Copies of this chain bind each other. A is one copy, B any other.
């Protein structure tokens, strides 16, 4: 790929342009706002002028509701030989392309799973897509050439291509992105109306849980409207879950013993289902393994290490194991009694467990693979178990 056009130089469009310019592709930038277009150019994202001849690929980087119109207009002008977009909703743009665009075969929908809370070209980064999944949603009409060009774009951005049906994509992002954004907004809005002293008890957990709510509200309004049917469905499920949760918590607040026990069971069951749900999504840096809840739980194997109970000895072992990719998950006192040593259970990715054993043994530690070495899942007992829980 030698030439590319980026239509819409906001956060994503400018980041795409920066990423491919880095690789020697000549990029032509355009934006309905001259300041955004010139800002992207000044960042080194490309040239702020139209291409003289059709480019290899045009990337439409505008909100979902505008993709159809901008794509149609670009194809009418013959801007490129192939077209893709980066909107986070895919069925609507695909329908628009099939209905209105002169050359639907030259278009394939795309959605890079990357973003920032800040928007606009000044927030753009050439490495925004590194290691992230990038969904492509070819329609029945999408040509092999258009699909190949889009795959090339994903590769140039160091992202991982994932092919999905546009409808499946939209149903999935409603759960993983659109509804979580709304719930974060609902919670963040409560912070503005909450009791005095809120800020003094706001910790990192709250910041993480609400950060996505900082996203541009007009853009998100557009995204949520474009995926409204799927979003409404998930919202109704959550509304029903919440309708069951409220009486459970009410019972804990003032019910009789039987009601309190039932309320607690309902509560802990929800918390446990949440922990299991988390095991179904890949951790950061595991994008490539993302292939349905079954496929993504990171297989981890157990390694047992015996350590003497000298103060600091265990800290030294944990540091050594961490360098080798092992996480201490549990410690058992040897039956032989106090002062006789502890056996610490480490979990490590399947691939590195044996390396961990070998390296620790070489350093003089008494380390063995756990019997059978059967995998442990993230968020499974090992992780959740606690001695005396504290908070």
- Among the 9-residue stretches A33-41, A142-150, A349-357, the one with 4 or more Cβ atoms under 8 Å from chain B is A33-41
A-B contact pairs, 24 of them (CB 8 A): A9-B388, A31-B388, A32-B388, A41-B309, A62-B390, A119-B384, A119-B390, A172-B194, A172-B196, A176-B203, A180-B206, A181-B205, A182-B245, A183-B209, A184-B209, A188-B275, A188-B278, A191-B280, A192-B280, A199-B292, A214-B275, A214-B383, A214-B384, A221-B264
**Closest chain B residue to A246, Cβ basis:** B235
CA A176 – CA B200 in complex, angstroms? 10
Give the chain B neighbours of A209 by CB distance below 8 A. 180, 183-184, 208-212
Contact at B390–A42, with CB atoms within 8 Å?
Answer: no
State whether A208 and B208 are in contact (beta carbons under 8 Å apart), knowing that A189-B277, A192-B277, A379-B214 are contacts in the complex.
yes
Contact at A198–B249, with CB atoms within 8 Å?
Answer: no
Q: Is the CB of A282 closer than 8 A to any CB of chain B?
A: yes
Interface string of A204-239 (1 = CB under 8 A from B): 111111111111111111111100110110111111
Give the chain B neighbours of A193 by CB distance below 8 A. 277
Give the chain B neighbours of A114 by CB distance below 8 A. 203-204
State whether A390 and B122 are in contact (beta carbons under 8 Å apart), knowing that A246-B235, A253-B232 are contacts in the complex.
no
CA A253 – CA B232 in complex, angstroms? 8
Q: Is the CB of A26 closer than 8 A to any CB of chain B?
A: no
Expressed in whole angstroms, the minimum distance between the Cβ of A213 and any Cβ of chain B is: 4
CA A64 – CA B31 in complex, angstroms? 56
Interface string of A261-276 (1 = CB under 8 A from B): 0011001101111111
Give the chain B neighbours of A222 by CB distance below 8 A. 389
State whether A338 and B122 are in contact (beta carbons under 8 Å apart), knowing that A177-B203, A207-B283 are contacts in the complex.
no
Give the chain B neighbours of A342 by CB distance below 8 A. 35, 38-39, 42
- Among the 9-residue stretches A75-83, A310-318, A369-377, the one with 4 or more Cβ atoms under 8 Å from chain B is A310-318
Contact at B122–A330, with CB atoms within 8 Å?
Answer: yes
Which of B43, B181, B270 makes the CB contact (< 8 A) with A182? B270
Contact at A12–B391, with CB atoms within 8 Å?
Answer: yes
Give the chain B neighbours of A198 by CB distance below 8 A. 172, 175-176, 280-281, 292-293
CA A3 – CA B184 in complex, angstroms? 44
Contact at B237–A290, with CB atoms within 8 Å?
Answer: no
- Among the 9-residue stretches A50-58, A97-105, A161-169, A360-368, the one with 4 or more Cβ atoms under 8 Å from chain B is A161-169
Expressed in whole angstroms, the minimum distance between the Cβ of A88 and any Cβ of chain B is: 4
CA A274 – CA B204 in complex, angstroms? 17
State whether A205 and B182 are in contact (beta carbons under 8 Å apart), knowing that A199-B293, A225-B264 are contacts in the complex.
no
Q: Is the CB of A24 closer than 8 A to any CB of chain B?
A: no
Contact at A177–B199, with CB atoms within 8 Å?
Answer: no
> Which residues of A325-341 have CB atoms within 8 Å of chain B's CB atoms?
328-333, 338
Which of B229, B277, B284 makes the CB contact (< 8 A) with A204? B284
